[in-house]
Structure 1
Amino acid sequence: MSRLFSSGKIGTCELKNRVVMPPMCMYKSDDSATLKEFHYIHYTSRAIANVGLIIVEATAVEPKGRISNNDLGLWDDFQIVEHKKLVDSCHNFGSKMAIQLAHAGRKSLATDSTPVAPSSIAFDSKEPFKMPKELSLEEIEEIKFKFLASAKRAKEAGYDILELHGAHGYLLCEFLSPLTNKRSDIYGGSLENRCRLTLEIAKLIKENIELPLIVRISATEWKSKGWDLNDSIYLSKELEKIGVDAIHVSAGGNQKEPDLMPKLTPLYQCDYAKKIKENISIVVIAVGLITTVKQGEILLEEGVCDFVAYGRELLRNPNLLFSAAKEINKMELIDNSYVRAYL
């Protein structure tokens, strides 16, 4: 029996299989930050190909929260319409839909705005990166409710699940790290204080929106005296306490020159997922150069994770699960229009 093709739940949302398409920025929008024809084709093609959960790329909660001028946004009601079209399209083919709500923080390259961060520490001293402005307590409070407002719009658009982006050196990740957060108020200093903003936003969403919530984290930033796996275990436990439904375990992204970065080999991040899963009882999603169906099956069989995210592999091969269905002689799992290619 294939574990990858078995159904599973994230919170109250039942997924037809254990395959996740993780959020990957496509940089195909414009200053309107709306979905374009590319996005409908890109995501719906993976839905046709049987992916259980599709997580739409990082979607900013305010204009200066975009990574680039070509990123998606959900900070205004007019942006809901195109998201609903996308969700409906993918639902037609049986996939569940999530959206990653994000703020780029100091890594924002959106023009005509000054990036913001927990502290005025630039990601890189060279262009195109800029020196960020340190957020005031009032501005932090505003950002919390911008995340909530975008989450409400996502629910209106029909998304099944929400994901909060706390990884890869973007704003929430910057607050978590002692290397990028030098604040002396309630959001800085101790591990508890540095985790406060991520926990407050997650709690705010869970208390106000009846949708499952995933939080994506960088398990480590691969830097001496920086955010590490033990910190991630603490955060994951705290997120579980407030009702978060899943932890999506990635790594890195917060440092321009990490000194502890491992070689990028297949499954190189999966041990982080395993260690976190050993310490919590909610769903864990593993990601990181998982390239074959066999690897995914082994990760599930060995209890490393509950769901497997295929990123680059689904860019290379949107029909990954059709090939997998052929391998296990489950031809009924292949869309009837494609079956002839697998006979």
Structure 2
Amino acid sequence: MTTAAVENALLTTFDVGRLRLRNRVVMAPMTREASHDGTPTPAMIDYYVRRAAGGVGLIITEGTTVAHEAARNRTGIPVFHGDANLQRWSELVAAVHAEGAAIVPQLWHVGMDRKVGDPPDPLVHPAGPSGVDLHGAVVADPLSSAQIDDIVAAFGTAAGEAQRLGFDGIELHGAHGYLIDQFLWSRTNRRTDQYGGDIARRTRFAADVVRACRSAVSSDFPIIFRLSQWKITDFDARLAASPAELEEIVSPLAAAGVDVFHCSTRRYWEPAFEGSPLTLAGWVRHITGLPTIAVGSVGLRDSDFISTLLTGAGAAVEGLARVAEFLNRGEFDLVCVGRALISDPAWVNKIAAGRHDELVPFDAADLARLY
């Protein structure tokens, strides 16, 4: 595939709801713990602005937590509530828009990834569907129905604030073993009420969150839902064992109001299920008919982010012909780039200018400065 063909695939516009993206490249949400006790800092704003100036079409912010006492577990994680914090997010939106990019916040609750004694308040216990951590140990009481209602409402409130502040949509973090995913996953959801049991009931909490967010925003305000098979504690976990099980999860979410699914995998090109070449993003797109975002080692040579981040290793630049091929055949609609944008904020502009040979390889040392 020619360089021009790669550029054409990546750099065409894309519409979702009222939003027109200038290209198909999305900046991945990457938790950096760079806020000041939950408040976005000027350096944090500059970090996003540099990637916007570098040409990305859409920025998904690092996870930012909704207004629930157990939603975060580290003080450097930003929060999405409180007048001072929301004002700083508003400044970030304006600065990113000035560079021509769209931006959405990733709304997050860590659930049982929080440990007893974690900050910011060590007296607050973790919150999850069954009080079961990601290893299967019971460490807290299950959430009550009233507590579930409060968390659902907190997501809805955050979505409404996002639209008020001028964001271009929201992303709900329903992946990697955090709270929404903990309801979806049988290992962490042992409930016997309407929120637990079979896949349909385990999906109810996620669908309720989507509905709360949809009710809080306009009908053309995009809602992105991030999902994954793997978890932060189990890279081989399977949320769905077959396309039929996957359909039981994503179809109710689509009906509840999701506009785009962000399908998180370790290597975007790998088939999701035995016997079919379709990727996770491809299967979700096939099932729902909705746009999907693919993520996982985009632009990096056969190297997943888990190994490079945990070992401190780098990852060489890979040609983008395979990404373009998947886009052109309709496997997915958008591509999410993470580590490549850490080391090279101008990644998209270099591709647009045909300067592929100038793309900078990922180096884990860049994580320390995140310039």
Instruction: Give the alignment's TM-score, normalised by structure 1.
Output: 0.85
* In structure 1, C-alpha distance between the alignment counterparts of 2:350 and 2:271, rounded to whole Å: 25
Which residue in the other structure is 2:249 paired with?
235
Which residue in the other structure is 1:137 paired with?
145
Q: Is the 8 A contact 1:215 1:248 kept in 2?
A: yes
| 1:52 counterpart = 2:57 | yes
* In structure 1, C-alpha distance between the alignment counterparts of 2:239 and 2:223, rounded to whole Å: 26
Q: Is the 8 A contact 2:30 2:338 kept in 1?
A: yes
| 1:41 counterpart = 2:49 | no
* In structure 1, C-alpha distance between the alignment counterparts of 2:149 and 2:182, rounded to whole Å: 16
Q: Is the 8 A contact 1:24 1:311 kept in 2?
A: yes
Greater mean alpha carbon deviation, residues 190-199 or residues 285-294: 285-294
| 1:250 counterpart = 2:250 | no
* In structure 1, C-alpha distance between the alignment counterparts of 2:139 and 2:284, rounded to whole Å: 34
| 1:71 counterpart = 2:110 | no
Greater mean alpha carbon deviation, residues 297-306 or residues 84-93: 297-306
Q: Alpha-carbon deviation of 1:228?
A: 3.8
Which residue in the other structure is 1:5 paired with?
11
Greater mean alpha carbon deviation, residues 309-318 or residues 227-236: 227-236
Runs of 4+ aligned residues of structure 1 deviating over 6 Å after TM superposition are none
Aligned pair partner of 1:294 in 308, 321, 341: 321
Q: Is the 8 A contact 1:219 1:229 kept in 2?
A: no
Aligned pair partner of 2:128 in 94, 117, 124: 117
* In structure 2, C-alpha distance between the alignment counterparts of 1:166 and 1:322, rounded to whole Å: 31
Greater mean alpha carbon deviation, residues 112-121 or residues 166-175: 112-121
Aligned pair partner of 2:111 in 97, 105, 130: 105
* In structure 1, C-alpha distance between the alignment counterparts of 2:238 and 2:338, rounded to whole Å: 29
Q: Alpha-carbon deviation of 1:163?
A: 0.7
Q: Alpha-carbon deviation of 1:67?
A: 4.1
Deviations, residues 195-233 of structure 1 (Å, cap 9, x unaligned)? 001001101211220121001011455657754453333
Deviations, residues 152-177 of structure 1 (Å, cap 9, x unaligned)? 22122210111111001000000001
Cα 1:307–1:125 change in 2 (3 A) is closer
Q: 5+ residue gaps in structure 2?
A: 273-278, 300-317, 357-371
Cα 1:225–1:290 change in 2 (3 A) is closer
Q: Is the 8 A contact 1:80 1:156 kept in 2?
A: no
Cα 1:235–1:265 change in 2 (3 A) is closer
Task: Supply the RMSD in Å over aligned alpha carbons.
Answer: 2.3
Cα 1:29–1:125 change in 2 (3 A) is farther
Q: What pairs up with 1:205-244 in 2 under 5 angstroms? A: 205-210=213-218, 211-219=221-229, 227-228=240-241, 230=243, 231-244=245-258
Q: Alpha-carbon deviation of 1:11?
A: 2.1
| 1:326 counterpart = 2:353 | yes
Q: 5+ residue gaps in structure 1?
A: 252-263, 330-343
Q: Alpha-carbon deviation of 1:68?
A: 1.8
| 1:29 counterpart = 2:29 | no
Q: Alpha-carbon deviation of 1:114?
A: 1.2
Percent of pairs identical after alignment? Answer: 29
* In structure 2, C-alpha distance between the alignment counterparts of 1:227 and 1:30, rounded to whole Å: 38
Q: Alpha-carbon deviation of 1:41?
A: 1.4
Deviations, residues 67-117 of structure 1 (Å, cap 9, x unaligned)? 422101113233210000000000001000111101000002542121111
* In structure 1, C-alpha distance between the alignment counterparts of 2:340 and 2:242, rounded to whole Å: 26
* In structure 2, C-alpha distance between the alignment counterparts of 1:80 and 1:115, rounded to whole Å: 25
* In structure 2, C-alpha distance between the alignment counterparts of 1:266 and 1:155, rounded to whole Å: 30
Greater mean alpha carbon deviation, residues 291-300 or residues 45-54: 291-300
Q: Alpha-carbon deviation of 1:9?
A: 1.3
* In structure 1, C-alpha distance between the alignment counterparts of 2:194 and 2:96, rounded to whole Å: 42
Q: Is the 8 A contact 1:268 1:288 kept in 2?
A: no
Q: Is the 8 A contact 2:267 2:295 kept in 1?
A: no
Instruction: Give the alignment's TM-score, normalised by structure 2.
Output: 0.79
Q: Is the 8 A contact 1:7 1:16 kept in 2?
A: yes
